[in-house]
A and B are shown apart, each in its own frame.
Chain A
């Protein structure tokens, strides 16, 4: 019988789909509940939309529940997110109470019973207070390396009640007395953001975005945020441009209702004002096809961030056969095999040097791009993540 998983036979590594079928035999009939804060928006929701049907098709009783929150609650969890990632956002006692109140209300409304319950990030973490049976895992997608102490102390009280925590990278984790597992996030190769596109589709999108296809394209896809160092990307481009004619595309979103994002965007437009080869493109949320087309038309992809989460834009570009020149921030270096699928760099000068080298060596770019795609196929596709979850379901005991 054809299942959601069979669609991945052509894109996943040899033997993977059959292996996943056999792995799922070990967990038939078990139940797996995902809990998070939003149904749409963000990489995690994007992956869950595919993962849950795949798990169901394999005989796992998978469910995905989403927290219902108030406007006030979303303000609280946004501040908490910033504080957990190190920004100086203070939370008041009233805010903590709002959080606890929303959690209590949701606990009454949601069916929390399952053999395995995976709670994603801080927003629903407090639901652990209402656990009945099953193995409860806290899946942290955030960089918790340097959180604001009060926010982490508040969240940690909940985290300690889980059976285990899962982080994307060792460096993102805090000290905890429960088992800590490590799992990379993944991309869906069949989603609109990553599926194959024809040349005419790509050309059409580029025409719409007003990007000429004459000169080599250096691309950075990232929210307009200082942590993504878009000005560093412009400095890099200028160093490259001295020796090699090229254009820079900075594509991002995230300025709506965000004064800092707007300020960054203005700075960039100012910096790019006298150079027709710099294209600053503001994308709407979930502009998946546009990002796909941009990544496919890029000559080299740059990720110059100074602070990052996992930065799956790196894997997205590598999946499209592009060499990536990236910094050491967050998960960027974990995705690039230095010197094989791209280069890990530590400065604007290093980025410019590597990009210049690549632009002068088209054969090397092609070889690196091909290796990059294979590296993603084996390490960063949704099929690998599905295998991780099935393995958790089998290996971790249900209390």
Chain B
């Protein structure tokens, strides 16, 4: 079954990001909420998703720029923890994610006698990114080929197929699980990869999870034969 060769190969695409500064900066948590409401969705994407592209290996203490900033620059650990637990995987699109961010900050401020602000730290600078898709010329037709390419590929390709495809390009599921399901008809493996939450860990950890999922199938098929 896993020796199946797909008619349509999986063509890997990597990506390169240009970071662009936009003319908004927040010095306190109220301004942060107001600007989250105002900035383009690309900026929400930048601070919650492409964060992972910039932290390919090392997992910081907080998985998005907003949580990181309120803890590191303002010193508000309570809000930082509330923003850190927020899981973008739970929201159908960026607009819903934006609303949830605002709601968390507003709720926090309604219970606080003051508006926490930067005293010694740096303001929050809003940014967005321009993403360049780069076809990297590698194709997989079998699960073994897929697994071998994932092992050595530039980590931006894992980001592109797991984050960009699903969340910015609004494809129904990530590119890897979609191909395994439709082209190799490996439904269980596709479900397992679709269920991986890409927000829990770095891109390198994601790569390990993908390899491990493929290896489980390849090993079990090899034992059968």
Contact = CB atoms under 8 A, between A and B. Distances in A.
Interface of A: 13-16, 18-19, 22-23, 26, 167, 170-171, 173, 175, 179-183, 328, 333, 337-341, 344, 346, 371, 374-375, 378-379, 387-388, 390-392, 394-395
B145 to A, nearest CB: 16
A167 B21 CA distance: 9
Contacts of B61: 338-340
Given A181-B19, A182-B21, A339-B61, 19 more contacts: A14-B152, A14-B155, A15-B155, A19-B154, A22-B136, A23-B14, A26-B134, A170-B21, A170-B125, A173-B21, A182-B19, A182-B20, A340-B61, A344-B72, A346-B120, A387-B16, A388-B18, A391-B17, A395-B130
Contacts of B155: 13-15, 378
B121 interface: yes
B223 interface: no
B132 A395 contact: yes
Interface stretch (B37-45, B51-59, B180-188): B51-59
Contacts of B57: 374-375, 378
A396 B56 CA distance: 26
Nearest to B123: A171
B212 interface: no
A171 B122 contact: yes
A183 B19 contact: yes
B58 A19 contact: no
Nearest to A167: B21
B156 interface: yes
Contacts of B16: 23, 387-388, 390-391
A142 to B, nearest CB: 16
A13 B20 CA distance: 24
A373 to B, nearest CB: 10
Interface in B1-45: 14, 16-21, 23, 25
Given A14-B155, A379-B54, A19 B130 contact: no
B20 A181 contact: yes
Contacts of A175: 23
Contact of B154 (A15, A180, A344): A15
Interface residues of B, number: 35
Contacts of A395: 18, 130, 132
A346 to B, nearest CB: 6
A328 B121 CA distance: 8
Interface string B130-154: 1010111100000000000000111
A367 to B, nearest CB: 12
Contacts of B156: 19
Given A15-B153, A22-B137, A23-B134, A337 B58 contact: yes
B182 to A, nearest CB: 25
B19 A394 contact: no
B48 interface: no
A243 to B, nearest CB: 26
B152 A15 contact: yes
A175 to B, nearest CB: 6
Of A19, A183, A390, which is in contact with the most chain B CB atoms at under 10 Å from its CB? A19
Contact of A22 (B14, B19, B21, B25): B14
A19 to B, nearest CB: 4
A2 to B, nearest CB: 19
A395 B134 CA distance: 12
5 contacts: A14-B154, A22-B14, A175-B23, A344-B72, A387-B16
B60 interface: yes
A243 B128 CA distance: 47
Given A22-B134, A395-B130, A180 B21 contact: yes
A392 B154 contact: no
B49 interface: no
B64 to A, nearest CB: 15
B154 A328 contact: no
A395 B129 CA distance: 12
A147 to B, nearest CB: 17
B134 to A, nearest CB: 5
A114 to B, nearest CB: 19
B127 interface: yes
B120 to A, nearest CB: 6
B157 interface: yes
Contacts of B135: 22
A358 B50 CA distance: 32
A104 B97 CA distance: 53
B210 to A, nearest CB: 14
Contacts of B121: 328
Given A15-B157, A19-B154, A22-B135, A180 B14 contact: no
